[in-house]
Amino acid sequence: MVKYKRILLKLSGESLMGGKAYGIDEGRLNEYALQIKEIAGMNVQTGIVIGGGNIFRGLSGAAKGFDRVKGDQMGMLATVINSLALSSALTAQGVKTKVLTAIRMEPIGEFYNKWRAIELLEEGYVVIMSAGTGNPFFTTDTGSSLRGIEIEADVMLKGTRVDGIYTADPEKDPEAVRFTDITYDEIYARGLKIMDLTATTLCKENNLPIIVFDMDANGNLKKVVSGEQIGTLVHN
């Protein structure tokens, strides 16, 4: 039994680095592919958005003198590289997958539109939606919120290296307490930064719940879609 029929899984680019300082850790990539294969085998319709911070981040590039628009475009291309890598790992596991891009770049990926994405999900494909929103000044968090709303996902699953949302950074404050669930309004009031404000507001206004959980613990993705209470649920 699964709790969620259709999900949007958001993965950070940094998480793909695993133990490396840059780029893609093949071991971590294959671990993620196995977890995704597991839920695909449970007939969970799975859309995925991956960041590009392991390769290039537009905002940090702008701080070093890059033109912001060109920097963000480089970041979009980084997400395409990560998406192709995950697609390749899934294909090697026997999972049907399709990469869609928010910027035209056939034959690397098919140009994204909502109805094509939903059609592929209903046909059993894992759909990886890359290149963010296709526009500068928007993060992949905003891209994942937008795609989750467009494909009419039941929930956004934000896979991180932390097991939920805390009152403070648990890596810096040993007394930080984890929330099992929290409302969007409380996130605003406490100034918690689980995603950028645009992404959070999109989810709030369109009533898309988010679960923040530790993706690096094998089996956690299956637990989340099965309805086990791990991580933190964000809701209205």
Q: In angstroms, what CA-CA distances link 36 with 9, 48, 76, 212, 221?
A: 9, 10, 23, 16, 7
Within a domain: residue 79?
A: yes
Within a domain: residue 72?
A: yes
The 10s digit of each residue's pLDDT in 99-149 is 999 999 999 999 999 999 999 999 999 999 999 999 999 999 999 999 999
Buried b (16+ CB within 10 A) or exposed e, 62-101: beeebeeeebbbbbbbbbbbbbebbbebbeeeebebbbbb
User: How many domains does the chain contain in total?
Assistant: 1
Whole-number mean pLDDT of the chain?
A: 95
The 10s digit of each residue's pLDDT in 160-217 is 888 999 998 888 888 999 999 999 999 999 999 889 999 999 999 999 999 999 999 9
**Cβ neighbours for 147, distance < 8 A, ≥ 6 positions apart:** 8, 47, 49, 117, 129
| Nearest-angstrom CA–CA distance, 10 and 28 | 15
Query: Could you tell me the pLDDT band of residue 58, with boundaries at 50, 70 and 90?
Result: confident
> Edge-to-edge strand order for the sheet containing 45-50?
110-111, 97-101, 126-130, 45-50, 6-11, 155-160, 210-214, 232-235, 181-183
Give the pLDDT confidence score for residue 202 in this predicted structure: 97
Burial class (CB in 10 A: 0-12, 13-18, 19+), 151: buried
Within a domain: residue 177?
A: yes
Within a domain: residue 73?
A: yes
Within a domain: residue 208?
A: yes
Q: In angstroms, what CA-CA distances link 188 with 14, 27, 133?
A: 25, 37, 24
Give the pLDDT confidence score for residue 108 in this predicted structure: 96
Q: Do 87 and 155 contact (CB within 8 A), yes or no?
A: no
CATH number, residue 92: 3.40.1160.10
| Nearest-angstrom CA–CA distance, 135 and 187 | 26
Within a domain: residue 66?
A: yes
Q: Tell me, what DSSP letter sits at residue 206? A: T
Within a domain: residue 123?
A: yes
Query: Could you tell me the pLDDT band of residue 57, with boundaries at 50, 70 and 90?
Result: confident
Within a domain: residue 1?
A: no
Joined together, the tokens standing for residue 113 give: 């539109």
Residue 52 domain boundaries: 6-235
Q: In angstroms, what CA-CA distances link 106 with 99, 112, 129?
A: 10, 11, 14
Q: What is the pTM of this model?
A: 0.95
